[in-house]
Amino acid sequence: MTIDTVFYYKIWQDIQNTGKLEFTGVITGIASVLYSRKENILVYPTGLISTLIFIYLYAQCGLYADASVNIYYSIMSILGWMMWAKKKEGETLLHISYNNKKEQIISILFFIICWGFLYYILHIYTPSTVPIADSFTSAAAFTGMYLMNKKKVENWWWWIVTDVASIPLNAYKGLMFASFQYLVFTILAVMGWISWHKKFKHRIHG
């Protein structure tokens, strides 16, 4: 066997050995992204199932920042659920929009602060072997979730960054099916950005 053949064979074996819990977390996670793309409030209950599962899985394999980001996801999912559900005279109060300049700066500062804080916690207080990468993906995800709850189109940009960085990180930790999930997430995030951008233009220009 060539090196490439052995590598892909190992990936296939790891995917086949995926536990039921990880499989459930991946499937509900993908469903959540699909609902988000459609601007469907079911993004939140399906997402909650996935995040609760991955809190446990990530803590078990030492990805402490990714475990913490899923705790954040769970809390933000409940808040986002309430925000998206608010209506007035049968119409939703929250509409898809882009950040203005001030909101864009706040989003970037939010990411930088989260990355620095999470790296410090991981480096000083945990046995994490990948504190820079783990804190980076988590900070990007924190930012994406924050913007998704506000129905900002830019949330998809942050999800793309999170997903691309999470592919090798999860593979490194042996979570091959979760790594595959992030590959699917990357594709869905690009599709989600296109969909929300079109909806925004339609709402503004008719």
Least trusted range by pLDDT, from 4-13, 79-88, 160-169: 4-13
Report the C-alpha gap between 73 and 14 in whole angstroms: 27
Give phi and psi for 43, each to the nearest 5. -55, -35
Report the C-alpha gap between 139 and 163 in whole angstroms: 12
CA distances from 123 to 40, 55, 134 (A): 38, 19, 11
Task: Give residue-wise pLDDT tens across range 13-40.
Answer: 655 666 788 888 888 988 998 999 999 9
Please name which of 41, 58, 39 lies closest in space to residue 122, comparing C-alpha atoms: 58
Task: Give residue-wise pLDDT tens across range 84-141.
Answer: 998 876 777 789 999 999 999 999 999 999 999 989 988 898 888 888 988 999 899 9
Q: List the domain range (segments joined by +) for residue 175.
A: 3-86+95-205
pTM over 0.85: no
Domain count, the chain: 1
Report the C-alpha gap between 203 and 197 in whole angstroms: 10
